[in-house]
Amino acid sequence: MGLRLAVQRTPWLDHIAAVAAAHPGLTPVVKGNGYGFGRTVLAPLAADLVAPGGHIAVGTVYEAADIRAGHTPWVLTPHVDLLPPALPPQAVLTIGHRAHVESLERQAWRGHVVVKLASTMRRHGVAPGDLAELLAAAGAAGLAISGHAIHLPLAGTDASRIAEIEGWLPHLDPRASLSVSHIGADAYAQLRTDHPHITWTMRVGTALWHGDKALLALTADVLDVREVVAHDHVGYRASDVPGDGHVVLVAAGSAHGVRELDDGRSPFHFARQRLALVEGPHMHTSMVFVPRGNAVPAIGDRVDVQRPLISTVVDELVWIDG
């Protein structure tokens, strides 16, 4: 009982294989909540997509331990605090500023790093004019440079993203390794064709794991149904019921990452109708209102939940075969 993610296993795995085939040099990304599946579910699947010892990208140094010893966790987010004892020795860290190097040097950490290049995202990343100084500092600290990476915005077009990538190439060694993200397969193929001297890799997360949304279904159980009349008061805030009908208690709430949509609407649906929230989702339960005359779910029924999986924690992952 609770919030459930159901996945059509075979076509989902077929999609993953197709994405991997379309992106030579694939670096699968397994980070955060594991894209709704959980990192422990995705990590073994990611390992099957890369060669032994190959890179699997994770979000932070605390997630690196999820990657089994035969592969290399690449930590995408720079770290400036104490490194955790569980950090695998083969981990590759990310640097984008002199302070990142200094933190690793203070801890006498010796290992491989990827240099994050600045993009129009304006997140962490070294500017072209500071790249030589950062590389020199990394070398003096005993860090081995595994390559470079750029994190591109979703806004814009593939043409604008390619132009941004190509703007960096004159600043890099002609035989550099460069990891990119957020471009389509055709644009990635164009980069590989136009610049064959570069070793290209492609980080893919959402497009790899989510793919065809028709293969994924997020639902929640109905825990209880209460008949109400107009102006009854219910919930934590004694909310006013707008009319006669039923209050339905749904087994999903803020503890699952379930909340109102960005425009304030309810994320719950039943019988092709949106179920209005009585109040904001709280912990493990949400209260919705069904006006008299509309289809009312029964206890034990499931309602559809409209939330992005990258911010959702499910209680149950169900594989559907056949």
Tell me the pLDDT tens digit for each residue of 208-256.
999 888 999 999 999 999 999 999 999 999 999 999 999 999 999 999 9
CATH class, domain 213-320, is mainly beta
Average pLDDT, the chain: 95
Alpha-carbon distance of 13 to 48, in angstroms, equals 11
How does residue 1 score in pLDDT terms, banded at 50, 70 and 90? Answer: confident
SS3 237: coil
pLDDT at 212: 86
Cβ atoms of residues 221 and 250 within 8 Å? yes
Residue 292: how many CA atoms within 13 Å on its side-chain side? 9
Which strands make up the sheet holding 144-150, listed edge to edge? 26-28, 199-204, 177-181, 144-150, 112-117, 92-95, 72-75, 55-58
Q: What angle separates helix 158-168 from helix 185-194, to the nearest 10 degrees?
A: 30
How does residue 69 score in pLDDT terms, banded at 50, 70 and 90? Answer: confident
Residue-wise pLDDT for 15-38, tens only, equals: 999 999 999 999 999 999 999 999
Q: How many residues does the chain have?
A: 322
Sign of CA dihedral 46, 201, 183, 119: positive
Tokens of 143: 């860090």
| CA-based radius of gyration for the chain | 24
Sign of CA dihedral 267, 269, 273, 276: negative
Residue 70: how many CA atoms within 13 Å on its side-chain side? 9
For range 166-180, the mean pLDDT: 95
pLDDT at 322: 61
Residue-wise pLDDT for 87-145, tens only, equals: 999 999 999 999 999 999 999 999 999 999 999 999 999 999 999 999 999 999 999 99
Q: Which CATH architecture has domain 8-209?
A: Alpha-Beta Barrel (3.20)
How does residue 52 score in pLDDT terms, banded at 50, 70 and 90? Answer: very high
Where does the chain hold its CATH 2.40.37.10 domain(s)?
213-320
For range 35-53, the mean pLDDT: 95
